[in-house]
A and B are shown apart, each in its own frame.
Chain A
Amino acid sequence: MTQTAPPPNTPGSLDSVPNAAKKHWVGPWALLGPPGLWLVLLLVLPTLVIFELSLVPGIRPGDLVNPSGLDNYTQIFESVYLRVMLRSLLFAIGTTVVSLVLGFPVAYWIALMSPKRWRNLLLVAFILPLWTSSLLRSYAWISILRPTGVLNSFLGIFNLPALDILNQSPAVLVGMSYSFLPYMVLILYSSLEKLDLKLLEAAADLGATPIQSFWKITVPQSFQGIAAGSLLVFIISLGDFINPELLGGASSMTVSRLIYNQFLGPTQNWGFGSSLSMIMIFAVSAAVALLIRYGNTSSGKV
């Protein structure tokens, strides 16, 4: 049966070829268009505006925008503002370290040691604080940490000396660590959950004590999670405004508080605020770049 005419269903498929090509072309635009527009309108443009403002020395509301120099940036390099940046950095690093040290055992316990059917419940219980307003949580810490607060009443019962840390850096560190610990635990959990327990058995089999196995196997195997969790906590700590504002004192100015003050606070220097914002955006972008880089290399190895 040699037939030159195509079988009945071929005309349809002829039609569908350009259709498919069109879909192929339209698809990405339909998918990327709205978020792209969103990004351009609400992220790229405002950032460009902030950048332009940062080039106008000491611009205040009502002033003419006339970019004319880097004065706002040179102002940042006055020692007092460098100290603010250093302080922000130390708060962020401190928070990261505290969250990691406190979060790892918790994530480890939930992921590897707790009864399996309780795991999700435990995890939810641990991240439950995230469902309340961060403002409320900071206020709660005020009433705990203040001189006549819960902590000192408690210490008083055991005749321990009162702690006066509210309005000081330790209080900020406590508040930030508390706020961001759940993020750390979540990320570490998802990384530890994937840990192959056979590897720990293999290490024990080869003579490693549980502590040696932890440092030589568990930690390196979950390195990606540790890196991701640490960088995330670092980034959000760096940008945190609420905890330093509410729990900090006269001497715990951070970059985000300083930026707030330039726009909505007692000083109205949008130019200086913009240059500080640009530095912050740059710092956070660098941290994110690190995150992506580390995420890639370690996944290549494992």
Chain B
Amino acid sequence: MAGGSYSRRAFLQQTAAAAMGLSLSSCGWRLANVRPTNTASADTSKLYIFTWAGYTDKALLEQFTAETGVSVVVDIYDSNEAMLAKLQSGGGGAYSIVYPSDYMVRRMRDLDLLQELDRDRISGLDSLFEPYQDPSYDPNNRHSVPVSWGTTGLVYNRKSLGTEPQDWDFLWDQREKLTRRMTLMNDTRETMGASLRRLGFSYNAEDPEAIRKAFEALQELKPFLANFTTDAWRDRIVAGDLSVAMGYSVDAVGVESENPDLGYVIPASGASLWTDTMAIPVTAPNPDAAHAWIDFMLRPDVAASVTKSLSFATPSRDAFELLPPDISENPSLFPPDDVLAKCEGLAPVGASTALYERYWNQLTSG
């Protein structure tokens, strides 16, 4: 009898877990603990990629298919957290390639969500620029390979501003004039980090006092914001509805080519330096094609042409050397070393994460 009731309970738990993408652990159950699935039945002629908008284009996919015979299906996400949530909820079982950013690589690795890469099947790792050979978020690139890097700064319309902003302070100083003509990113760490940096703290501050100050500064600015958005500002700044937007350098380069009045600046007090990587989830149904994709993307000719066509900065030296000067000397894409020196990468903030998010909820809810 006891066995019966036990198994019924286990059944219920498993059903509940299955429904929610949750699984059991020895004591109680753990939220979203993803395990490898059986890949025996996987279709090796297809590669599912989960990436950021604007990271692939048709020509690139066709070239890959022509070379390997594997057709590619691309889904996109707009935040690392959304990607993580999808994988954790069990909805990402089809993807063999994901594009986590630096800090997310570390987090996913700690959650055992990423496979260790087979370095023998990936050439071109040696040609990465020095800082990307052994990044702090993933020593020796054991679980990820950098594919692009960039900064987070301010995109602005120099015509409507009449001036060129130099630092984060510009937003606070000019907030009356910029009422609902500016946006900040819908990203806890980036936006809180920018506010921290403006006040002289690190992007990765864990001091509650510093985080509180950054939050209060943002609250001051908030009534003047049009929105918190990570990329919906692009069309609207091109059309002239916005004057300043906080955004990624890749997106900035994209809009600069559409409207010559637009410019991009890395704020003088410093910005975040980010790396987007390619990684293979433990649940990947087609790891062979995934390795082939990473190898393909690292090839100097491919990386260089992607840099040209999709305008994101390649971390590969061999590819960089193939670039025409108007691209390799574009300061929005490849900022000078002295500017880069003031930037810092996002790193996990441990127990402070909850505090960041609590403030973020309060900021966006008010």
Contact = CB atoms under 8 A, between A and B. Distances in A.
A–B proximity contact (CB within 8 A): yes
Interface of A: 41-42, 45-46, 48-49, 53, 58-66, 78, 80-81, 83-84, 146-149, 164, 166-168, 246, 248-251, 253, 258, 261-270, 272
B32 A62 contact: yes
B111 A49 contact: no
A75 to B, nearest CB: 9
Given A42-B19, A49-B22, A263 B366 contact: no
A251 B82 CA distance: 22
Contacts of A265: 79, 81-82, 186
Nearest to A246: B232
22 contacts: A46-B19, A62-B30, A62-B31, A62-B33, A64-B25, A64-B27, A83-B366, A146-B241, A148-B239, A168-B180, A248-B227, A249-B180, A250-B223, A250-B226, A250-B227, A258-B364, A262-B361, A266-B188, A268-B81, A268-B357, A269-B357, A272-B361
A166 B357 CA distance: 27
B272 to A, nearest CB: 14
Interface in B43-84: 79, 81-82, 84
Given A62-B88, A265-B81, A167 B361 contact: no
A99 B65 CA distance: 51
Contacts of A270: 31
Given A60-B354, A250-B225, 18 more contacts: A45-B12, A45-B15, A60-B353, A61-B84, A61-B111, A62-B31, A148-B240, A166-B241, A250-B183, A253-B365, A262-B361, A264-B82, A264-B86, A265-B186, A266-B188, A266-B357, A267-B188, A267-B361
Contacts of A272: 361
A148 to B, nearest CB: 5
Interface string B90-127: 00000000000000000000010000000000000000
B222 interface: yes
Interface in B183-198: 183-184, 186-188
A272 B79 CA distance: 20
Contact of A62 (B111, B183, B226): B111
B201 interface: no
A250 B228 contact: yes
Interface in B208-247: 222-223, 225-228, 232, 236, 239-241
B16 A269 contact: no
Most buried by A among B22, B30, B180, B360: B180
Nearest to B183: A250
B85 A263 contact: yes
A81 B365 contact: yes
A83 B227 contact: no
Nearest to B79: A266
A55 to B, nearest CB: 13
Contacts of A59: 31
A192 to B, nearest CB: 40
B28 A80 contact: no
B29 interface: yes
Contacts of B180: 164, 167-168, 249
Interface string B326-366: 00000000000000000000000000011001001110111
B20 interface: yes
Contacts of A66: 28
B285 to A, nearest CB: 22
Given A251-B222, A264-B81, A265-B186, A60 B360 contact: no
Contacts of A63: 30-31
A166 B236 CA distance: 11
A15 B24 CA distance: 52
Which 8 A-B pairs give the minimum distances between C-beta atoms? A267-B357, A250-B225, A61-B32, A266-B188, A61-B88, A167-B226, A253-B365, A249-B227
Interface in B1-39: 12, 15-16, 19-20, 22, 25, 27-33
A36 B111 CA distance: 37
A48 B183 CA distance: 38
A84 B365 contact: yes
Contacts of A83: 365-366
Most buried by B among A61, A64, A168, A258: A61
A64 B223 contact: no
A41 B20 CA distance: 11
Most buried by A among B15, B25, B361: B361
B80 to A, nearest CB: 9
A248 B365 CA distance: 12
Contacts of A62: 30-33, 88, 111
Contacts of B364: 250, 253, 258, 261
B234 to A, nearest CB: 13
Contact of B227 (A61, A148, A167): A167
A49 B20 contact: yes
A266 B360 contact: yes
A159 B354 CA distance: 51
Nearest to B189: A266
Contacts of B22: 49, 65
Most buried by B among A62, A64, A83, A84: A62
Most buried by B among A41, A147, A262, A270: A147
A168 B180 CA distance: 9
A65 B28 contact: yes
A176 to B, nearest CB: 17
Contacts of B82: 264-265
Contacts of B85: 61, 263-264, 268
A63 B110 CA distance: 13
